[in-house]
Amino acid sequence: MNAESFLKQRLLCIAVVDDPDAAVPLAEALLAGGLKTMEIPFRTAAAAESIKRIRRKFSEMAIGAGTLLAVEQVQRAMDAGAQFGVAPGLNEAVLQAARECHLPFFPGVMTPTEIDRALNLGWKHLKFFPAEPAGGVAMLQALAAPFAHTGVQFIPTGSITTATLADYLALPQVAAIGGSWMAGRKLVAEKAWSKITALTAEALKIVAQTQNKTGRTKKFHPAC
C-alpha cells in the first residue's frame, strides 16, 4: 500500500498505549466509531507488541508506528507489522531506512526549509508538527502557499481538537488530520472504550460535513 491509501478517511488517530492488553479493545473502539486508521507512537515499551496484536486481530485496521527517531526503530516497527511510519522530524537516516524497507512514511516538518528538504528527498506527504503551537491553520496556509504547485500534502498534528478540525480540513493541501483527542492516554488507561468510540464518530462526522460543505474530494498525488 502507498502513503495516500492510509489517508482516505482524512483522519488518523494517534494513541499512546502503556499496556499491550489495551491494544485490541482500543482498536475495536475506533472501528466501532468508523475509523480504520491509527498510529501507535514508539514512546512506550508496549508499542511494538500493541501493533502486533492489532494486526493479528483486525485485518481491516491500518496501523502505523509513530515517533520513529532511530533507524533500528524502523526495523522494529516493520517486524511488529506496522504498515506505515511517522516521525516528528526530518531524520534523513530514518527516511532512508524506511525507503529501503518500502515502508510508507510521513516525516515531520515545521519550516519552509524542512518542507523544501523533504520534497528534494522525494517525500510529499508531510506531518506538520506541532500544528497548533506552530501557528495553527494560518501558519500552515502560509507555509503551503509557495509549495502548492509541488503536490505536497500535509497531515497537521499537535493540539488539534474537534473545535479546529474543520478549519484544517478546509485547506486544499491538507490530506488528513492526526489527533490524539479521540483516544487520549488517560482514556486508554481508564478503558473508556465507549467514550473513544463516541469521540471518533463525532470527528468523522465533522470530516463528512466539511467535505459536503466544500464539495471537494481529496486528490492525492504519487509519493514515496
What domains sit in the chain, N to C, each tagged with a CATH number? 3-214 (3.20.20.70)
8 is catalytic: no
- Tally Cβ neighbours within 10 Å of residue 32: 15
Torsion angle of the four alpha carbons 127, 132, 134, 139, in this order, in degrees rounded to the nearest 10: 80
Band the pLDDT of 212: cuts 50, 70, 90: confident
156 and 131 Cβ atoms separated by less than 8 Å: yes
C-alpha distances (whole Å) from 221 to each of 32, 37, 74, 92 are 30, 19, 24, 22
pTM of the entire structure?
0.93
pLDDT digits (tens, 9 = 90+) for 70-113: 999 999 999 999 999 999 999 999 999 999 999 999 999 999 99
127 is catalytic: yes
Band the pLDDT of 194: cuts 50, 70, 90: very high
The one catalytic residue in 8, 36, 39, 100 is 39
The one catalytic residue in 127, 186, 195, 202 is 127
pLDDT digits (tens, 9 = 90+) for 4-52: 999 999 999 999 999 999 999 999 999 999 999 999 999 999 999 999 9
pLDDT digits (tens, 9 = 90+) for 171-186: 999 999 999 999 999 9
